[in-house]
Structure 1
């Protein structure tokens, strides 16, 4: 999804005015074989120091308003992947403008070809939990039967107590836009109630999503799903579709005090419908939330690689971190 033309175009339209970017194009036999987006990060830091960063793909935005790219990858024909990667790495290493190089949100298998080119890079691994629909079909099973006993009990109890739940799966732009605006309202209400601005307070982030909906919903590359309780919207989801996998991207829910476990219930109902519609998996992406553990059956790993060019800034931060670990270890020993 992160290399889909609509995703990249929406990112450029909304972030390209503040994040410098360029494309590297690989050609063979007079034809384009691979394209990579390179971006220069803004407001990036290494420790306490501001640094100049270089990123591959739609990344490098300021933290407030970032789209948090996950399942990032190169867009290249398979038979040209190594040659394109070699050329891309050579270009990156010869670019003297950056101090820190980042690969953001790559799947572990997609990251492996990069590792030899950036030895001693720091790599952060994060779990991306998912439910395997294909496995459920092989077992001729529904979703709930594949979940843990306590989760099954909780879902059945909550649905029985709510009673009159209705669901909508957007099939056109008008319905999708309506669900999205409800999602935004619910999301903002919950975050504002805790004193936080909420993701959609950033107009670039909000417009990025609206543009995606217009371009992707007709291609069935984006799903907007809604749960109502007696005509009151209590949960909304926006999911991306990447190689027939559903990616849990954005959500908005009513107050958990008024509707306990409504996030769990909304995802569960969407999953049962997605199973019927032939999707292969339901991926919750990174982030530690209880409903992800409750509703998942498998796990992928996404990776964030950071490679620092030797400089006074990076040496200072590394020395400080080593000293901090040493002092913490000494304290524990004592």
Structure 2
């Protein structure tokens, strides 16, 4: 077995085919997503250094990947982080393995690399938004703690998956609706009758690159409009964020894993969803609703709920059994049958004076942050 540190975009891109052969749990752990993120956010940032670990067996086959990079800070020093973290809000980050059988070997190899390079290659580990039930990451934390490193878990935003089939029921629209509250079922039926059955509401889904390019400005504009109503700016107005998603969405579309859907009411664009999807039978067999937008007029017409109705139905009809509404605790998610899947951030430091001071500073900051009053606008 061997472990190699990938430090250039070229080495990362050359791994595409082998990477896709791993058990990639969601499209957000695919090379289309993570390599695109590095191109947009890391490649030209002097504070960032690619540090992805590729684990190979004795025959040279790739059996695992730690999709990481280092962020350098003058005070803290180099910090190990997941590709795709920060403002990009990549959910479900994890170590990637060829199969469950390879997982213990991969985790042990990555742990040894971290232990051997502690205080030199890295001074701190900060791995955000890890699912609390992630077996590989929990195993990694245990090995690092047993090796004498200081490990700490801090609560993070969790995700909100909704099971579209339950208790062995057939994956049908009626069976899914039966799992929702009576009030929600009545509303969905009314939305279908009044909008979709009459033809007033139509959903357009990007099937080709030309479609994607045509719909993309609608995503940017409708997202900005929705954010402005909330008193915020649109994230797509940030050039690196926009570049990342242009790259990722184009690549995901080519692999059949993009679902960009625009809702038009009476011929006018009122809402849009930017979602990712597993190929049927792969990963979690889910559709992941990542971003979206609604016009001011669309807010008054229940456009968000109309598009959510169409999205859930389309997921079922395409053979997917889960709708993942990702991070964020917006109340509407529970009304669609979603449940909270907790997540945490893992911090790791050497057990030395600098590490102890860094832990104290982090604890003090979080205590101060959590005591800050929330403004009425927020």
TM-score range, shorter chain: 0.7 to 0.9
- Secondary structure of the structure 2 residue equivalent to 1:153: helix
Q: Following the alignment from structure 1 to structure 2, what is the Cα–Cα distance between the partners of residues 229 and 173?
A: 24
| Aligned positions of 1:1-334 closer than 5 A | 1-15=27-41, 16-18=43-45, 19-31=48-60, 32-41=62-71, 51-52=76-77, 54-59=79-84, 63=86, 66-78=87-99, 79-93=101-115, 94-96=117-119, 97-107=121-131, 108-110=133-135, 111-119=137-145, 120-124=151-155, 126-135=157-166, 138-139=169-170, 141-142=172-173, 143-157=176-190, 164-242=200-278, 243=283, 244-255=285-296, 258-309=299-350, 310=352, 311=354, 313-314=357-358, 316-317=360-361, 320=364
Indicate if the aligned counterparts of 1:248 and 1:284 stay in contact, CA closer than 8 A: yes
| Unpaired stretches in structure 2, ≥5 consecutive residues | 1-26, 146-150, 373-378
Question: How many residues get paired?
Answer: 318
Q: Work out the CA distance in 1 between the residues paired with 2:228 and 2:75.
A: 29
- State the TM-score, normalizing by the size of structure 1: 0.83
For residues 202-252 of structure 1, the C-alpha deviation after alignment (integer angstroms, 9 at most, x for no partner) is 111111111112111132111111111011111111111242211111111
Give me the TM-score of the superposition, normalised by structure 2.
0.74
Q: Structure 1 residues 131 and 99 mapped into 2: Cα distance closer, same or farther (>3 Å)?
A: same
Q: Helix, strand or coil for the counterpart of 1:117?
A: helix
Deviates more, 1:122-131 or 1:264-273: 122-131
Deviation (angstroms), 1:132: 1.5
- Contact 2:68-2:80 within 8 A present in 1 as well: yes
Pair 1:281–1:257, CA change in 2 (3 A)? closer
Rounded to whole Å, the distance in 2 between the matches of 1:167 and 1:324 is: 46
Measure how far apart 1:321 and its partner are.
6.6
Deviation at 1:198, TM superposition (A): 1.6
Quote how far apart the aligned CAs of 1:323 are.
8.7
CA contact (8 A) 2:94 2:134 kept: no
Q: Deviations over 1:125-151 (max 9, x none)?
A: 543222222338824641433211222
Change (3 A) 1:216 1:319: closer
Judged with a 3 Å threshold, the aligned counterparts in structure 2 of structure 1 residues 170 and 55 are, in CA distance, closer, same or farther, namely: same
**Contact 2:64-2:98 within 8 A present in 1 as well:** yes
Structural RMSD (CA): 3.1
Structure 1, unaligned runs of 5 or more: 44-48, 329-334
3-state DSSP class of the match of 1:121? strand
Select between 110-119 and 235-244 the one with higher mean Cα deviation: 110-119
Shift of residue 80, structure 1, vs aligned partner: 2.9
User: Any idea what the Cα deviations from partners look like across 1:308-333, whole Å, max 9, x if unmatched?
Assistant: 444264254267479979x99xxxxx
Q: Which moved more, 1:109-118 or 1:159-168?
A: 159-168
Q: What secondary structure sits across from 1:246 in the alignment?
A: strand
